[in-house]
Amino acid sequence: MTDLMENTLEEDTQKDRFLTFLLGNETYGIEIKYVTEIIGIQAITQVPELPDYIKGIINLRGNIIPVMDVRLRFKKEAKEYNDRTCIIVININDVSIGLIVDSVSEVITIPEENVVDPPKMGNGFNNRYIKHIGKVGDDVKLLLDCEKLLTEDELEELNESL
C-alpha cells in the first residue's frame, strides 16, 4: 500500500521536469522520468550491421548499453566528440539506451500551460520525435518523444529496405 502511495508522489515530483541538452543551436528536452544517468563520452565498441546513428555499445559498470548519436538520428552533420560531449542514459519500458549529445544544459520545470503542440510542418523529419514545444521565458525548447525515438526505428528499417 505504502509503495503505491510513494510511487504516485514520486511521479508528481518528476512531472513537468525536463533535462535539456544542446544539439548545435537547438535545445531539446527529455522528461526526467526516463533519464537514469548522465556520463561523459567513453570508448564505444562498434557493432556491425546497424544503422549509422547507432554507434555501438558501451560498458557501464558491467552493464552493456547501446548508444545512439542523436545528431545522426536527426540527420544533422556529425560533429567530433569533445570533452563536453555527454551520454544521457534513458530507460523506457525496460529498454536502456544512451543518447550522445553535444552538451547537457540543466533540469528545468516547464509547467503545463507553457507546453504546446508542435506545428504540423509538412515532412519535417524532426517533427516525428518532437512531442511538444516548451516555452521558457523567451526561449523555445523542443521536447522529445522518447518512445518514438526508440520504436520508430522499425518502420524506418522497413522503409529503407524497400
Partner 1 sequence: MPAYNNEPLLEMFVFETTQLLEQLEQVIIHSEQSKSFGPEEVNEIFRIMHTIKGSAAMMHFKDISTLTHKIEDLFYFIRDKEPTYIDYSTLSDIMLESIDFIKLEIKKIENGGKPDGDSLPIKEKIDKFLTFISDPNSQANKSETEEKYKKRFKTTIFFEEDCELEHIRAYTVINDLKNIVEDIYYIPDLEQSDSAEIIQKAGLQIWFTTDRPFEEIHHFLSKTIFLKHLELVELEENKNFNKYLNKTIKAQQKITDTSLEKKDFEQSTYMVSSTQNMISVHVAKLDKLMDLVGELVISEAMVTHNPDLEGLKIDNFNKAASQHRKIINELQDIAMSIRMVPLAATFQKMNRIVYDMSKKLSKEVKLKIIGEETEVDKNIIESISDPLMHLVRNAIDHGIESAEERKTKGKAEIGTIVLEAKNVGGDVLIIVKDDGRGLDKKKIFTKAKAKGLINKPESECPDQEIYSYIFLPGFSTSENVTEFSGRGVGMDVVAQNIGAIGGTVSVDSIPDQGTTITLKIPLTLAIMDGMIVKIGNASYTIPTLNIREAFKPENNDVITDPDGHEIIMIRGECYPILRLHELYKIETSTVEISDGIIVVVESEGKHLCIFVDALVGEQQVVVKVLPKYIRNFKKIRGIAGCTLLGDGSISLILDIADLIKH
Residues at the interface with partner 1 (CB under 8 A)? 1, 43, 45-50, 54, 57-59, 62, 64-66, 94-97, 150, 153-154, 157
Cβ of residue 162: shortest distance to partner 1, in angstroms? 13
Cβ of residue 78: shortest distance to partner 1, in angstroms? 16
Q: Which CB, 129 or 141, lies closer to partner 1?
A: 129
Q: Which CB, 45 or 103, lies closer to partner 1?
A: 45
User: How would you classify the pairing of strands 54-60 and 26-31?
Assistant: unpaired
Q: What are phi and psi of 26, to 5 degrees?
A: -100, 150
CA distance 138 to 151: 32
Cβ of residue 94: shortest distance to partner 1, in angstroms? 7
User: What one-letter code names the amino acid at 85?
Assistant: T
Cβ of residue 59: shortest distance to partner 1, in angstroms? 5
Q: Which CB, 45 or 109, lies closer to partner 1?
A: 45
Q: Which CB, 121 or 162, lies closer to partner 1?
A: 162
Residues 125 and 75 sit within 8 Å (Cβ to Cβ): yes
**Cell numbers found for residue 4:** 503505491
- Name, in order, each residue with C-beta under 8 angstroms of 130's C-beta and a sequence gap of 6 or more: 118, 142, 143, 144, 145
